[in-house]
Structure 1
Amino acid sequence: MAVASSSLTGGSFNLSSTSCSTSSSPSLDCFRHQLSFFGSRRRIKPLVYWTRSHSLSPKCELSSNSVVKNGKKESRTSSLSALELLKTSAADRYTKESSSIMVIGLNIHTAPVEVREKVSIPEAQWPQAIRELCSLNHIEEAAVLSTCNRIEIYVLALAQNRGIKEVTEWMSKFSGVPVTELCQHRFLLYNQDATQHLFEVAAGLDSLVLGEGQILAQVKQVVKNGQGVPGFGRKISELFKRAITTGKRVRTETNISSGSVSVSSAAVELALLKLPEYSSSMARVLIVGAGKMGKLVIRHLAAKGCKKMVVINRTEDRVAAIREELMDADIVYKPFSELLACAAQADVIFTCTASKAPLFIKESVQALPSVDSEDGCRRLFIDISVPRNVEPSVAEVEGADVYNVDDLKEVVEVNKEDRLRKKMEAETIIAEEVKQFEALKDSLETVPTIKKLRAYAERIRSAEVDKCLSKMGDDIPQHKKKAIYDLSLGIVNKLLHGPMQHLKCDGAENRTLSEILENMHALNRIFGLDTEMSVLEEKVRAKIEQNQKQSS
C-alpha cells in the first residue's frame, strides 16, 4: 500500500471521547522487561510492553458516565471532564510527571522496506504531520524524520504511555498499517536514550552505511521544515539543532566519512557486483529520477567509468545541471513518457524518485524485450526509493533481478572492522554532546516556575488593585486608574526581579545548573507553587477543552 492512499488530514482524531482505561495495569513481568531493556539499551529491537492479556497501553474510559462510590455504581454527568476521571483513577502521579522527549520509529534495523514504505511521510507533509501530532491530547511538541531507511517521530509528551498510544494510533491512521503490526516493528526511546539515538543518526552511526553524509542533510531539513510550524517547539528544536552540531563535529574531528559510501554509491557498487566483469563497462544504464539520490548515482557511475547513461526526469533542468558538472559523461535526458521505451534498451535500471506508486509493475516488465546479451546477463533493477518504485513481483519475471535498499548490506559489510574503530571515536564526541544537551534541557525546567511565580504575583496585584479602586468609588478619572495600575505593576516587577534573575539560565550570571534548579525548588516551596494546578495538568485540561470545542 503506497502512502498516497492515506491522508494526513484524516490522521488527526478527537480524543475527548477516546476509550483508554487506567484500570489495566502492566504485569510484573512487563516491568521487568522494560527494566532489562533500559539496562542493556539495545534500542534497535522492537519493544513489547504488555502481555497478551493487556492492551498496548493503559486505557481510561474517558466517555464513561458512571463511577463506583462506596461500593455502589453511581451515574455521573457526561460533562465530567476527562481530567477529573483521570484523577479518580490515581492520576495524582500522572499530573506530577514531567514532560518526556520520546522517539517512536521504524528503521532499517527493525522493519523491512515493505513496512517502512507504508509509514513513510513525504517531506512536503512534515509540517502538517507536526500540527496533527500536536493536536493530540498528550503531545506538546513534535518533529518528523522520514528517509529511505527510517521513519522516526520525535515528540515532547506530557505522559509517556498515553503519548506512545496516541502517536502509534496516529501512525496507524495515517499509513493504514494496523497498530498491532506497527508494534511488532517499532522501537521506543525516552529522554537521554532518545537524544543519544538522534545524535548517532545525525553522525551517520545508525545508517546502513556508517558515516554517510546524506542523513545529516536530512536532519537539517527537519529544522528547516519546522521553522514557524506550531508544535516544532523549543525543546524539540534545540534537540535537532544540537544533533546537527554533533553530526558536524563527528565528521570534522574523526575520519568516519573518509572512504565511506552513501546509499547511492552502495547501489552502484551492488550493480557492479551483479554484472559480469567484462560487461560492466559496456552496460546500458538508465537512471529514473534526478533528485538528490539520482544525482549521486550519476556521479558514482561516472567515477566508475560509466560514460554514457540515460536519465529520466520530470524536467530537463536538473539533468542539464548535472551534464554541465560532468563534462566527460554523455548524459541523455528523456521525459517520463518514454520510461518503458528507455527501459527496453537498458541493462541496469536505477530508480530513485519520490513516486508514491510503483513505476515498474510485473505486467509492464514482462512486455519488455529480453536483454540482448550472449553471456546470459539479466536486467537489473536497483530500487533505492521508499516507497519502492519497482513492484516486488517484478522479480518473478524471467530475466529480471530486483534489489532494494535492504539488499545493500552485501556491499556495506566490506571493511567492517575499520568502520567499527571509527565508530568508537565518534561515540566519545556524542557522549559529550548528549551531556551538554541534557544540561540545557534541565535548565529549561525553570521556565514553568517563572511563569507560575509571575502568575501568582499577578493574581495578588490584580486583586489588590480592584479592591483599592472599589473603595475609591466609580468616579475616578482614567488617568488616576492608570497611575494606580502602573504603580502596582512597578512594585511587582521590582519584587520579582531578584527571584527571576536567579532562575535565568542564559549563562550571564555564571550560575551552575544545580544552583539554578535549587533556586527553582526553593521558590516553589516558598510561594507554594507546587500546590497549585501543575503545569502538565493545565496543558492537559487545555488540550481536552480544545478537542471538545472542535468536536462540538
Structure 2
Amino acid sequence: MMAGTTSSTAVAGALFSTVASSKPRGSAACPRGGGGRRRGSCVVRCDAGVEVQAQAAAKAASIAALEQFKISADRYMKERSSIAVIGLSIHTAPVEMREKLAVAEELWPRAVSELTNLNHIEEAAVLSTCNRMEIYVVALSWNRGIREVVDWMSKQSGIPASELREHLFMLRDSDATRHLFEVSAGLDSLVLGEGQILAQVKQVVRSGQNSGGLGKNIDRMFKDAITAGKRVRSETNISSGAVSVSSAAVELALMKLPRSECLSARMLLIGAGKMGKLVIKHLIAKGCKKVVVVNRSVERVDAIREEMNGIEIVYRPLTEMYEAAADADVVFTSTSSESPLFMKEHAEALPPISDANGGVRLFVDISVPRNVSACVSMLMT
C-alpha cells in the first residue's frame, strides 16, 4: 500500500463528516399581525417547505458523492505499485515501426525525465537498440501507468496508440524482470547469445547514474540483470558460437559476392561507432585487407586504426560520402542519422560496378533508423 493511503482516506472521511453534520438553516417564523392574526401564513410556510426539501436533497446527494469518493479512493490507494515493461522488438514489430520509436542514447535521460513526470509513473528506464525499444517503469497503477506510457510512445513516434497496441508487448512484475534477464543474457536477440546487448544494458545503468534518472527499483533490477547476463556467458556455452549483428552483416555481404572476388571487393563503411568498429573487426577476421571509412570526424577512425592491425583503413570525410560510394562494391551503413543517407536517386546516380563482382552494388544497412531507404532495394533486383 502506498504512503498516501491513510492521508487520502482521512481527507475523504473528514469531508464526509463535515457535510453529514451540517444543518440547513430553518425558515424564519411566520410573521403575525396585531391581535394574533397570521398574515400570508400559507405562502410563507410553502416556501419554507420547498427550501427545506431542496437542502435535504442536496445534503443527500453530497453524502452519496462522498461515499462514492471514499470507495474509489480506497480502491485506488490499495493498488500496489508494479514493475512493468512496455515495448516492441524484432519479434513483434517491423523495422518501419521500430525506427520511428527509436531513441538515441544521448536522449535517454530526457525520455526518462518525461516518463517520470507522468502522473502514475514513479521510475523509468529506456532501452533502445537496433532490434528493440523497451520502456521499463514502476507504475503506481498498472492500467493508468500503461495507458500513459503508450500515449507517450504514440506522441513521440506519431503512430496512433491503437496501431501501436497491435505490436506492443506488456509484462508485469516477475514476468518483466524475467524478460530483462533474458534480454541481458542474449536469449531474446536476433542472434542467440550475442554480446552487444549486454553492453547496451550496462549503458542504460551508466546513463541513469550520470543523469540521476534511475530509481532504486529499476536500478537494482538492471544491475541484477547484468550480473545474470555475465553468469550465463561464463557458466554456459551460449556465446561459444555466437555472432553479432555486425558479423552477420559481414557474412551476408561475402555470401552475396562471387567467391573468387570476396577478398578483393572494395569495402566502404559509413559510420565508425560501436557497430561500425565491429564490422571492421569481422572484415579483418575474414581476410579483407582494406576498408574505406566515412565518418564525421577523423579522431575515431584514427583510434580504430591504432587498435586494429592487418587491415588498411582509409578515412574520408562525410562530405565525400557519395564519391566514396561510387568507388565501392559493398557499402555498410551504421550511423545514428534520423533520415536516410541513400535514397533511390542517390543509388541510381552511382556508376555501375564490374560484372566480376556481380554487377550490383551491395548496400548492407545495420542502422535503426535506417540509413538506406527501402526503395534502393528495387535497384538491386
TM-score, normalised to structure 1, is 0.56
Higher relative contact order (CA 8 A, sep 6+): 1
Determine the structure 2 residue equivalent to 1:186.
168
SS of 2:332 mapped into structure 1: strand
Match of 1:368 among 350, 354, 364: 350
Shift of 1:229: 3.8
Tell me whether 364-373 or 99-108 shows the greater mean CA deviation: 364-373
Match of 1:257 among 230, 236, 239: 239
Shift of 1:234: 0.6
Indicate how the Cα distance of structure 1 residues 268 and 374 shifts in structure 2: closer, same or farther if over 3 A, else same. closer
Determine the structure 2 residue equivalent to 1:319.
301
Alpha-carbon distance in structure 2 between the residues aligned to 1:209 and 1:252:
18
Work out whether residues 139 and 158 of structure 1, in 8 Å CA contact, stay in contact via their aligned partners in 2.
yes
Give 1:4-153 correspondences, 5 Å limit.
87=69, 90-153=72-135
Shift of 1:372: 2.1
Determine the structure 1 residue equivalent to 2:274.
292
Work out whether residues 131 and 229 of structure 1, in 8 Å CA contact, stay in contact via their aligned partners in 2.
no
Alpha-carbon distance in structure 2 between the residues aligned to 1:333 and 1:231:
38
Determine the structure 1 residue equivalent to 2:201.
219
Shift of 1:258: 1.0
Shift of 1:86: 8.7
Alpha-carbon distance in structure 2 between the residues aligned to 1:237 and 1:340:
44
Deviations 1:5-25 (A, max 9, x none): xxxxxxxxxxxxxxxxxxxxx
Alpha-carbon distance in structure 1 between the residues aligned to 2:272 and 2:68:
53
Determine the structure 2 residue equivalent to 1:160.
142
SS of 2:241 mapped into structure 1: coil
Determine the structure 2 residue equivalent to 1:392.
374
Determine the structure 1 residue equivalent to 2:179.
197
Indicate how the Cα distance of structure 1 residues 307 and 87 shifts in structure 2: closer, same or farther if over 3 A, else same. farther
Alpha-carbon distance in structure 2 between the residues aligned to 1:221 and 1:146:
11
Shift of 1:255: 1.6
Determine the structure 2 residue equivalent to 1:49.
none
Indicate how the Cα distance of structure 1 residues 118 and 89 shifts in structure 2: closer, same or farther if over 3 A, else same. farther
Alpha-carbon distance in structure 1 between the residues aligned to 2:295 and 2:254:
23
TM-score, normalised to structure 2, is 0.81
SS of 2:218 mapped into structure 1: helix
Give 1:408-423 correspondences, 5 Å limit.
none
Aligned Cα RMSD in Å? Answer: 2.4
Determine the structure 1 residue equivalent to 2:225.
243
Work out whether residues 140 and 231 of structure 1, in 8 Å CA contact, stay in contact via their aligned partners in 2.
no
Work out whether residues 82 and 172 of structure 2, in 8 Å CA contact, stay in contact via their aligned partners in 1.
yes
Shift of 1:232: 1.3
Indicate how the Cα distance of structure 1 residues 180 and 324 shifts in structure 2: closer, same or farther if over 3 A, else same. same
Alpha-carbon distance in structure 1 between the residues aligned to 2:133 and 2:110:
16
Deviations 1:384-430 (A, max 9, x none): 00000001111122xx36xxxxxxxxxxxxxxxxxxxxxxxxxxxxx
Alpha-carbon distance in structure 2 between the residues aligned to 1:257 and 1:86:
58
Shift of 1:93: 2.3
Given residue 268 of structure 2, which amino acid in structure 1 is its aligned partner? L
Alpha-carbon distance in structure 1 between the residues aligned to 2:271 and 2:128:
19
Shift of 1:316: 1.1
Indicate how the Cα distance of structure 1 residues 321 and 85 shifts in structure 2: closer, same or farther if over 3 A, else same. farther
Shift of 1:377: 3.2
Identity %: 63
Shift of 1:322: 1.8
